[in-house]
Chains A and B, each alone.
Chain A
Amino acid sequence: NAGVTQTPKFRILKIGQSMTLQCTQDMNHNYMYWYRQDPGMGLKLIYYSVGAGITDKGEVPNGYNVSRSTTEDFPLRLELAAPSQTSVYFCASSYAPGVGTNEKLFFGSGTQLSVL
């Protein structure tokens, strides 16, 4: 099983450039999430989606956009990249929160992004 797949694994952007981080899952999970992880900090929620066509902001949404046109895919868009967006980005999915062990998150392997 592939689980949660993220691409690319590494990327260097120049200030002001834009890019899309791709995330796809093959577990038919309703919920999908984007987190960022900075050195020495906990994972911070950027955006999440409870199903196709439905997205909502997390703790740190500024500078990012998302869309969810299918159950499988949840891309994260960075517009006008800034050095503060240098981080490791993780996509995750779950069946549903509050539903026993079905609420556990499955994470992708991450995208390391540097904005210079």
Chain B
Amino acid sequence: EDQVTQSPEALRLQEGESSSLNCSYTVSGLRGLFWYRQDPGKGPEFLFTLYSAGEEKEKERLKATLTKKESFLHITAPKPEDSATYLCAPGGSNYKLTFGKGTLLTVNP
């Protein structure tokens, strides 16, 4: 059974304080690891897809990396508008996504 664990469950940062979110996964036949951002009262919004170990992708203050067992979402010099829940979702060989519970990020000004 595909499994995914995100840590920490919640993270509170000061504006400008860099940190990382973790996504550990066990998936049969990984075909892609997806990161989504979810704002309160809204649906998730796509951020990145990573396909192979060693791959990195960047968008503004966010950088996602992938190993064979984990993915990290690095947040550099965050701003209050980066506050959201970040969801990790590995996709297996069955072409379905398994979503983690998410990390609630709060960035204080």
Q: Count chain B CB atoms within 10 A of each CB in A43, A45, A90 and give the residue with the most.
A: A43
Asked if A110 and B46 sit within 8 Å, CB to CB, the answer is no
| Complex partner residue of B41 from A41, A45, A109, CB under 8 angstroms | A109
The verdict on B98 contacting chain A, using a C-beta distance below 8 Å, is: yes
Q: Report how far A103 CA is from B96 CA in the complex, Å.
A: 11
**Chain A neighbourhood of B46, CB < 8 A:** 104-106
Interface residues of B (CB under 8 A from A): 4, 31-32, 34, 36, 41-46, 49, 87, 89, 91, 95-102
Given A42-B4, A42-B101, A42-B102: A104 and B34 interface contact (C-beta under 8 Å): yes
Asked if B95 and A105 sit within 8 Å, CB to CB, the answer is no
Asked if B91 and A97 sit within 8 Å, CB to CB, the answer is yes
| Complex partner residue of A42 from B41, B43, B49, B100, CB under 8 angstroms | B100
Please give me the residue from chain A that is nearest to B98 by CB atom: A42
Interface residues of A (CB under 8 A from B): 4, 35, 40-45, 48, 58, 90, 92, 97-98, 101, 103-110
Within the complex, the shortest CB–CB distance from A95 to chain B, in Å, comes to: 12
Query: Can you report 23 A-B residue pairs in the complex whose CB atoms are below 8 A from each other?
Result: A4-B43, A35-B99, A41-B101, A42-B4, A42-B100, A42-B101, A43-B44, A43-B87, A43-B89, A44-B99, A45-B96, A97-B31, A97-B91, A101-B49, A103-B49, A103-B91, A104-B49, A108-B43, A109-B41, A109-B43, A110-B41, A110-B42, A110-B43
